[in-house]
Amino acid sequence: MDRISNLDWQAIQENLHEKGYALLKNILEASECEALVGQYDNPLSYRKTISMERYRFGLGEYKYFNYPLPAIIQELREEFYPKLAPVANKWMEVLNIPLRYPEHFEEFQLICKSQNQTKPTILILKYGQGGHNTLHQDLYGEVYFPIQMVIFLNEPGQDYDGGEFVLTQQTPRAQSKAIVLNPRKGDILLFTTNFRPVKGSKGYYRANMKHGVSEVHRGSRYTLGIIFHDALS
Ligand SMILES: O=C(O)CCC(=O)C(=O)O
Ligand SMILES: [Fe+2]
């Protein structure tokens, strides 16, 4: 996909390393977003539907895709992974964590498989009025990739109000810092899954990160989450 390989990856990698997230504007066409939303009610595409209220995850619904994934999602997952693995490796290196991620997605997927993590974690989420997603981390077993992405499938201020994307960063022995983002339809947000290194006076320390969605005040908000590790169940 030229639209991915032509991005300024050096700047994106620096942003991720410095802030724990990077917003990529206008990556999907409106028609691609609409096609994904249009499939929301097609039961053949999904393996599991979760009512967020039932699990006290917030208010809204999400569905996990089945393998094989829709072509565009499979391509995005394979194309983003090798750009992100060097950042993930740098994080592990500066935090002295003896974990290294392979260069290609297929090799990483084999590591998941070796730990029985074989179920797809790609999900599409729908929030109506009052909908929200409580602060969380998307871990599905021992094996994890520390960066994930979310694709914004409709337009804030038009299709919905509220529903900001929230990231919190927890510094040891301090209160959490909140980062609030309002991406537009077609944008992709890359962000930290569980922790990232932050540079302090005595080298890097580990800051835990969580993400969630503030309350939707009007309309419907759809997003598509791409997580790189597979799930146990
Ligand atoms: O709806 C959102 O913006 C966040 C979805 C989410 O939690 C995820 O993709 O992991
Ligand atoms: Fe999430």
pTM: 0.97
Residue 43 belongs to some domain of the structure: yes
Q: At what angle do helices 105-114 and 71-94 cross, to 10 degrees?
A: 80
Hey, is 113 helix, strand or coil?
helix
Residue 233 belongs to some domain of the structure: no
**Domain range holding 46?**
2-226
Residue 82: exposure state from Cβ atoms within 10 A (0-12, 13-18, ≥19): middle
190 lines ligand 1 (CB under 6 A): no
Residue 56 belongs to some domain of the structure: yes
- Is ipTM beyond 0.85? yes
Ligand 1 mean position, distance from CA 115 (Å): 25
pLDDT in tens, 47-100: 999 999 999 999 999 999 999 999 999 999 999 999 999 999 999 999 999 999
Residue 232 belongs to some domain of the structure: no
pLDDT in tens, 154-163: 999 999 999 9
CATH number, domain containing residue 222? 2.60.120.620
Q: What residues contact 160, with CB distance under 8 A and at least 6 apart? A: 127, 154, 216, 217, 218, 219, 220, 221
Total structural domains in the chain? 1
Q: For 6-136, where are the alpha helices, taking DSSP H only?
A: 9-19, 30-38, 71-94, 105-114
Q: What count of Cα atoms within 13 Å lies in the side-chain half-sphere of residue 3?
A: 12
Q: Which residue has the tokens 């300024």?
A: 8
pLDDT band at 3 (very low <50, low <70, confident <90, very high): very high
* Per-residue confidence (pLDDT) for residue 186, from 0 to 100: 98
User: Do the beta carbons of residue 53 and residue 130 sit within 8 Å?
Assistant: no
28 lines ligand 1 (CB under 6 A): no
Ligand 2 mean position, distance from CA 50 (Å): 13
Copy the structure tokens of residue 178.
Answer: 């909140």
* Per-residue confidence (pLDDT) for residue 133, from 0 to 100: 98
